[in-house]
Amino acid sequence: MLIFNAEVFDDDARFGERPKLFPVEAFWDDLRRRHVNGLLPEPFARMFFARQRPMFELHDLTRDPHELENLTGRAEHAELERTLKEKLAAWMIGERDYLPLPTGR
């Protein structure tokens, strides 16, 4: 079973049956309740209820497959981060997607 964008696709969905809707409202209500009552683990609280997501994220998908620990800004990853930002800036210019261009910061 695959859940994508609030729809549940089981094996039969590939053969023409309509996907079943996943009860998204109940899920979010439960998630909010857990967060308000302090029952949501900190990484998930940070992921779902952060005031603002960072502009850049860098994750070690081997150690952190769920992308809970952002490595951006750490000294040991500075060179990789700089290289990726340069490649992103070059791609954005090539695609005429100018603003905001990533900086070395």
φ/ψ (deg, to 5) at 75: -55, -40
Name the nearest CA neighbour of 102 among 56, 61, 66: 56
9, 19 in Cβ contact below 8 A? yes
Residue ranges per domain, the chain? Answer: 2-53
pTM over 0.85: no
Model pLDDT for residues 57-105, shown as the tens digit of each residue: 999 999 999 888 999 999 999 999 999 999 988 998 899 887 776 565 5
What's the length of the chain? 105
Name the nearest CA neighbour of 70 among 61, 79, 96: 61
Model pLDDT for residues 59-71, shown as the tens digit of each residue: 999 999 988 899 9
Amino acid identity, residue 13?
A: A
φ/ψ (deg, to 5) at 82: -60, -45
